[in-house]
Structure 1
């Protein structure tokens, strides 16, 4: 995954507005724990696509 650090400073979790941290091929929310996929270096920040925390 190759995301611009400036992009990571701007985007937030659509569910709770917390920061997102890259982990494997996902962006994981520091607040609610949702994990959003990154496909072809594009974050998919859709609640329907999010993996819920375990």
Structure 2
């Protein structure tokens, strides 16, 4: 993915900067704890396609 494109993309929900995770082909929003996928070199910036980064609560 082109670095210049990453510089101008922001989270569609909160407008925060995104971090490019090259290993998982995702753009990460640290504020919302969401990972947006990159498919065929195209970022999918839909909240319905985002993966939550929050850990599920572990039962006590």
Q: Which runs of 5 or more structure 2 residues have no equivalent in the other structure? A: 55-60
Query: Structure 1: which 4+ aligned runs deviate by more than 2 Å?
Result: none
Q: Do residues 14 (structure 1) and 12 (structure 2) align?
A: yes
RCO greater where, 1 or 2, for CA within 8 Å and sep 6 or more?
Answer: 1
Q: Give 5+ residue unaligned stretches, structure 1.
A: none
After superposing the two structures, state which structure 1 stretch, 42-51 or 28-37, moved more.
28-37
SS in 2 for 1:16: coil
Counterpart CA distance in 2 for 1:27 and 1:12 is 9
1:1-54 → structure 2 map (5 Å cutoff): 3-23=1-21, 24-54=24-54
Report the aligned-residue RMSD: 0.9
TM-score by length of 2: 0.79
